[in-house]
Amino acid sequence: MSAGGIIVVGGGQAGAQTVFSLRLGGFDGRITLFGDEGLLPYQRPPLSKAYLKGEASEERLSFKPAGWYESHSVDLRLSNRVTAINRSKKTVLTEAGELVPYSQLVLATGSRPRPLTVPGANLDGVHELRTLADVSRLRPSMLPGARLLIVGGGYIGLEAAACARQLGLEVVIVEAAPRVLSRVTCGELSNFYENEHRSRGVHLLVGSKLNELTGSGGQVTGAKIDGVGTVPADIILAGIGVIPNQELARAAGLECGEGIEVDGMGRTCDPDIFAVGDCSSRPIEPYGYRGRLESVHNAIEQAKVAAASILGTPLPKVDCPWFWSDQYDLKLQTAGLNRGYDEIVVRGSFAQRSFSLFYFRDQVLIAVDAVNSPDAFLASKALIMSKISVRTRSFSDTRVSMKDLAMQCQS
């Protein structure tokens, strides 16, 4: 490796894990990590959960204390944005005008919230939820009795709604699709979560379009909803998806589509540049297609793969994708991707709030949504990767433990 060392651009989960894996793997050369924020690399999932409710401190969000980076000779360049890549000279340009050489470059630039584009979107009181700074701006307004309107019924919107209700706010969710979580799960699970939120006092407006945000004196006061009228609101939170941060890569001539294109080793079309985490589009095992995965598991897995590729060590075993969501006292754990399923089998009880939904394609398990059912989640991960044909109806029999069922399927 050249004297340039390794540069990691991005201080989120993927960027931090890349650094950890490189040092754990024995790399003793120079590592420089650039981060837009003036903070140590930190976890983002708690931002819409425990941290938003004030149940977790900022210090607990950091992956490692500052001393770890010092003792492991990691050059942290915080509040320092990389603005350009010169692939022929193998340098990056910072916004301060500094040219920094690299031998290998890892792009962990993440993603950013998709902005609202309706009239009034620039009013005070309109928020997004992606960074600690976002929560710092939002949390002072999260007071009992305040009226929060959330645009988007995905995981971020539902998690924020749960937090807000537990803090005593009035909550309205506006979702353009006919049901919440429509992009990621089936109608049965959507109905379950809609009922849960309504039972907690959340007002759900599904199949509804936001037309405009209204305000007075520069402050948001409400939202005009097509077919509903004006809904009063003190706070607006946008949760309508994210956009991969691939502009830096695209400007450098790297192949980009719905993300920075990488192979199974995390490499871009330039063999000395890697991309990991939310910003990258990767081959997805065991499903046979490529895409972006916005999850902690994906960020960690891709970072470990890229580090191993750089080090020339064996690649880590690839697991099936998994995700989780905490809402009220419900923990949803998802393994796999349900794209193209042709059968759903239910195990457990919706009424008792402990159940699993198994998704099959041609009698092969491809995904599970497990609500308060960690045993189903854990057992399903191995089954999904095995790609074996099973008796689908056996999954509904709660007399047989999930561990035993998994063993029977694989015997």
Structure tokens at 44: 């983002």
Q: Specify the 3-state DSSP secondary structure of 31.
A: strand
Rounded to an integer, what distance in angstroms lies between the CA atom of residue 76 and that of residue 268? 24
With contact defined as beta carbons under 8 Å apart, do 276 and 303 qualify?
Answer: yes
With contact defined as beta carbons under 8 Å apart, do 163 and 49 qualify?
Answer: yes
User: How do the pLDDT tens digits run along the chain, 411 residues long?
Assistant: 346 799 999 999 999 999 999 999 999 999 999 999 999 999 999 999 889 988 888 889 999 999 999 999 999 999 999 999 999 999 999 999 999 999 999 999 999 999 999 999 999 999 999 999 999 999 999 999 999 999 999 999 999 999 999 999 999 999 999 999 999 999 999 999 999 999 999 999 999 999 999 999 999 999 999 999 999 999 999 999 999 999 999 999 999 999 999 999 999 999 999 999 999 999 997 788 899 999 999 999 999 999 999 999 999 988 899 999 999 999 999 999 999 999 999 999 999 999 999 999 999 999 999 999 999 999 999 899 988 888 888 999 999 898 888 888 876
Q: Is residue 342 part of a domain?
A: yes
Q: Is residue 340 part of a domain?
A: yes
Q: Which of 7, 5, 19 is nearest to 92 (CA)?
A: 7
Q: Do 226 and 211 fall within a single domain?
A: yes
Q: Is residue 60 part of a domain?
A: yes
Query: What domain count does the chain have?
Result: 3
Dihedral sign (CA 226, 230, 232, 233): positive
User: What residue has token string 């400007």?
Assistant: 251
Rounded to an integer, what distance in angstroms lies between the CA atom of residue 245 and that of residue 84? 13
Q: Which CATH number covers residue 394? A: 3.30.390.30
Q: Do 178 and 65 fall within a single domain?
A: no
Rounded to an integer, what distance in angstroms lies between the CA atom of residue 229 and that of residue 159? 26
Rounded to an integer, what distance in angstroms lies between the CA atom of residue 56 and that of residue 31? 30
Q: Which of 249, 290, 287 is nearest to 268 (CA)?
A: 249
Q: Is residue 296 part of a domain?
A: yes
Rounded to an integer, what distance in angstroms lies between the CA atom of residue 77 and that of residue 69? 11
Q: Is residue 100 part of a domain?
A: yes
Q: Residue 376: is it exposed, middle or buried by C-beta count within 10 angstroms (0-12/13-18/19+)?
A: buried
Q: Do 337 and 400 fall within a single domain?
A: yes
Give the pairing of strands 210-216 and 74-78: unpaired
Q: Is residue 316 part of a domain?
A: no
